[in-house]
Copies of this chain bind each other. A is one copy, B any other.
């Protein structure tokens, strides 16, 4: 257990509230601010932000910490919190955790008087979030696809963190899973996992049309499914559904999809939306891990 820690969680969506809850469950003192408009209520809310910060030594800010570069990201807050020298000064000398740290640092030079950490840059944070992202993708596929995932033919484009977790879950439900990758060693891992590896470069000139797939999940943040590649889907039954999980600008040409009559959709920010409790625990873990490493 981390000694002498009093936490406060300021702003953000449901994830941050669950993060605070998880910290409280671990036996720490915690308070949360800027959740006035949230329908879910917790006992540890502290309406006064300054007071919340003052009595804490560890401040947890949201991901992203700010959307407009000026105010704190507080979707459930009644007013808005300006990120300026004053705010930085209140946090001075404390450990401050946030997502997309560089945005916070550019709001005031005084942040150099605090220890500012970015939990969103941690490798294990990304891996852990691959779990709710994959489940969100599956939930989305279940909702949109008129068949069952079991017995369906799925293509997962990319074998990074999300590709690894998602393909394994799809197989676990009983889908027939192909995974496209670039590295030969990844293709060996894919085959060892009982799935069919496809060379990502040959995807646009596959002997078998992409239309053989019921569901295509893209995880690669490059324009892989451009109009040229998409055109390979159309000749056939055109029932293929494409779900793009890659961060913006994504890897699917949505205009071409519409023109070609292909059913495609974006699924972004899934962890916070489909599993805020898990997403909050993931933030908590990253904060703990950073704290432990920092202590050594």
CB of A147 within 8 A of CB of B183, answer no
CB of A146 within 8 A of CB of B277, answer yes
A142 at the interface (CB under 8 A from B): yes
With A192-B127, A278-B148 as contacts: A173 and B172 at CB distance below 8 Å:
yes
Q: Looking across the interface, which residue of chain B has its beta carbon closest to that of A164?
A: B189
**What number of copies of this chain does the assembly contain?**
4
Q: With A and B bound together, what is the CA distance between A280 and B151 in angstroms?
A: 14
Q: Which residues of B contact A143 (CB under 8 A)?
A: 139
CB of A174 within 8 A of CB of B192, answer yes
With A126-B185, A173-B173, A188-B124 as contacts: A132 and B148 at CB distance below 8 Å:
yes
Q: Looking across the interface, which residue of chain B has its beta carbon closest to that of A169?
A: B173
Q: Looking across the interface, which residue of chain B has its beta carbon closest to that of A15?
A: B146
CB of A124 within 8 A of CB of B278, answer no
| 20 residue pairs A–B, Cβ–Cβ below 8 Å | A123-B183, A124-B187, A126-B185, A128-B188, A130-B192, A131-B148, A131-B150, A136-B142, A138-B142, A138-B173, A139-B139, A147-B275, A147-B281, A148-B274, A150-B192, A151-B278, A165-B189, A169-B174, A172-B172, A184-B289
16 further A-B pairs in the complex, CB-CB below 8 A; given A14-B146, A175-B194: A127-B185, A127-B189, A128-B188, A130-B192, A135-B150, A138-B142, A138-B173, A139-B143, A142-B274, A146-B275, A147-B277, A148-B278, A151-B192, A169-B174, A172-B173, A184-B289
